[in-house]
A and B are shown apart, each in its own frame.
Chain A
Amino acid sequence: MKKITLLLLCILLSMSITGCSSFWEKDTNTVVIGGKNFTEQDILVYMMKGIIEEKTDIKVKAKAYLGGTNVVSQAIDRGDLDIYAEYTGTALVSVLDEEYSPSDPEVVYEKVKTIYDAKKQIIWLKPFGFNNTYTLSMRTEQANALGIETFSDLAKQSAALRLGATHEFLERIDGYKNVKAVYNMKFSSPAGMDPGLTYTACRDSNVDVIDAFSTDGRILAFNLKVLADDKKVFPPFYAAPIIRADTLKKHPEIGEALNLLAGKLTNEEMMTLNAKVDLEGKSPQVVANEWLKAKGLI
Chain B
Amino acid sequence: MMFNNFLIMLQNRWPEIMIGTWEHIQLTLVALFIGNLIALPLGILLTRKRKLAEAVIGITSVFQTIPSLALLGFMIPFFGIGFGPAIVALSIYALLPILRNTYTGILGVNQAVVDAGTGMGMTSRQVLFMIEIPLALPIIMAGIRTATVMVIGVATLAALVGAGGLGDIIFRGIAMARQDLILAGAIPAALLSMIFDYILKRIEIAVQP
Contact = CB atoms under 8 A, between A and B. Distances in A.
Contacts of A192: 159, 162, 164, 168, 171-172
Nearest to B19: A189
Contacts of B173: 171
Interface in B137-195: 159-164, 168, 171-176, 181
A192 to B, nearest CB: 5
A287 interface: no
Contacts of B176: 168, 171-172
A191 interface: yes
Interface stretch (A90-98, A200-208, A246-254): A200-208
A191 B82 contact: yes
A206 B82 contact: yes
B21 to A, nearest CB: 15
Interface string A178-206: 00000000000101111001001100101
A170 interface: yes
Contacts of A200: 76
Given A191-B164, A192-B172, A167 B159 contact: yes
A197 B76 contact: yes
B110 to A, nearest CB: 50
Which of A164, A167, A172 has most B Cβ within 10 Å? A167
A166 interface: yes
Nearest to B173: A171
Contact of A193 (B162, B174, B181): B162
A212 to B, nearest CB: 16
Interface in A63-81: none
Contacts of B161: 193-194, 197
B175 A167 contact: yes
Contact of B175 (A168, A189, A204): A168
Given A197-B161, A201-B162, A206 B172 contact: no
B80 interface: yes
Contacts of B76: 197, 200
B114 interface: no
Contact of B81 (A167, A171, A172, A191): A191
Interface in A150-181: 164, 166-168, 170-172
22 contacts: A164-B162, A167-B159, A167-B172, A167-B174, A168-B175, A171-B172, A171-B176, A171-B181, A191-B164, A192-B162, A192-B171, A193-B160, A194-B160, A194-B161, A197-B76, A197-B81, A197-B160, A197-B161, A206-B81, A206-B82, A206-B162, A207-B162
Given A171-B172, A204-B80, 16 more contacts: A164-B162, A166-B175, A167-B168, A168-B172, A168-B176, A170-B172, A171-B175, A191-B81, A191-B82, A192-B168, A193-B161, A194-B160, A197-B81, A200-B76, A201-B81, A201-B162
Interface of A: 164, 166-168, 170-172, 189, 191-194, 197, 200-201, 204, 206-207
